[in-house]
Structure 1
Amino acid sequence: MTRNSDFKQVVRARMAATGEGYTAARAALEREAHDAARAEQERLVGRLFVDGRIARVPAKRKVRVAVLLEVLSRFEPGRVYSEPEVNEVLLGVHEDFAYLRRELVNYRYLEREAGRYRTAPQAPTRTAVERQEIPDWEAHWLPGFLSGAFPRER
């Protein structure tokens, strides 16, 4: 059961409109939010990837973070990578692998320790300022990806 009272009101309004039970109404609303976030993610990055590679790195932060989420899907959650292995994965996406590697670490999608990298064990907690530049897709997709619940994309 959610503790967010605003969301509970939305669920109850859907229950009244559709006759669904609480669990079914909540699941439907969560599915709609997920689908909307995925559509927004595809809109943000769809034109930036050509044959699986980034055609250009976007200047806007929200779009750049959306691109980073797509790049992150090339990694296996929990696996430890050497720096050359990370570079190889990133070279498959864009020639400026050092920039991408640095951005993945700065946004806390990859963790670096003693020259070894791995995906973060869980989605990072974002400040209010960070949340302004993070696409909604992060909250819907990242926790499942990092836990291994969602399959990797290639």
Structure 2
Amino acid sequence: MTRDADFKARVRGRMERTGENYTTAREAVLAEPPPSRPAGGRADVDPPPSRTVAPSVDLTSDPAADKAVRSFFDGDRLRSIPTKRRARAAVLMYLLLRFERGRDYPEREVNEILRTAHPDISTLRRELVDYRWLRRAGGIYRVVDEVPGRSPDELQEVPADEAARLARVPVRRP
């Protein structure tokens, strides 16, 4: 029997009661307050794993992109860089919210901002430039003001609501 046998039993019980699939039932059980232990309960039994999602994830018109952001962020930290291009693009657009439109960033500052999310800053920086959300010229980076033109292949990767997500990037205030 695993350490989380009681947790799994609660999830399966919810599945039977509601007809939900395992993933949905698991999320609902994680959102519930943990059950209180009876007096003399076993101290070696760990509570179910907690899961922290990105705090400011706003639901948009692309649920797949929102799910990718919730799946790959642990608070403000990126757990790992997604290998699937569609999820990677959604995560990168979420990271773009840490920048301001209308402001020039030296590479050192871009690195500092990205380091708060994940240690592989060079990959994140390069991907933001490759997707043309950050423009680089002479070691200075700037968030683009308009959605870049996309080929049909690129349109399959970027979130469907790319323009709305780009519009959420804060504008620099003088």
What is the TM-score with the length of structure 2 in the denominator?
0.61
Give the one of 119, 123, 130 matched to 1:106.
130
Give the one of 62, 80, 93 matched to 2:86.
62
| Greater length-normalized contact order (CA 8 Å, ≥ 6 residues apart) | 1
Give the one of 129, 133, 139 matched to 1:115.
139
| Cα separation, 2, equivalents of 1:45 and 1:129 | 21
Equivalent residue, structure 2, for 1:141: 165
Q: Could you tell me which amino acid in structure 2 is paired with residue 104 of structure 1?
A: L
Question: Deviations along 1:5-62, whole A, 9 cap, x unmatched?
Answer: xxxxxxxxxxxxxxxxxxxxxxxxxxxxxx6525333212101001211101111000
| Cα separation, 1, equivalents of 2:122 and 2:156 | 25
1:85 aligned onto 2:119? no
Deviates more, 1:119-128 or 1:56-65: 119-128
Cα distance, 1:147–1:126 mapped onto 2, change above 3 Å: farther
Equivalent residue, structure 1, for 2:27: none
| Cα separation, 2, equivalents of 1:138 and 1:98 | 23
Contact map agreement 1:122 1:147 (CA 8 A) in 2: no
Equivalent residue, structure 1, for 2:9: none
**Counterpart of 1:93 in 2: which secondary structure?**
coil
Residue segments in structure 2 that go unaligned for 5+ positions in a row: 1-58
1:75 aligned onto 2:85? no
Give the CA deviation at 1:135: 1.4
**Counterpart of 1:132 in 2: which secondary structure?**
helix
Contact map agreement 1:62 1:133 (CA 8 A) in 2: yes
What is the TM-score with the length of structure 1 in the denominator?
0.68
Computing the radius of gyration from Cα coordinates, the structure with the larger value is 2
Give the one of 71, 86, 93 matched to 1:47.
71
CA RMSD of aligned residues (A): 2.1
Percent identity reads 42
Give the CA deviation at 1:118: 0.6
**Counterpart of 2:103 in 1: which secondary structure?**
coil
Aligned residues: 115
| Cα separation, 2, equivalents of 1:114 and 1:36 | 35
Bigger share in helix: 1
Q: Could you tell me which amino acid in structure 2 is paired with residue 124 of structure 1?
A: P
| Cα separation, 1, equivalents of 2:154 and 2:71 | 24
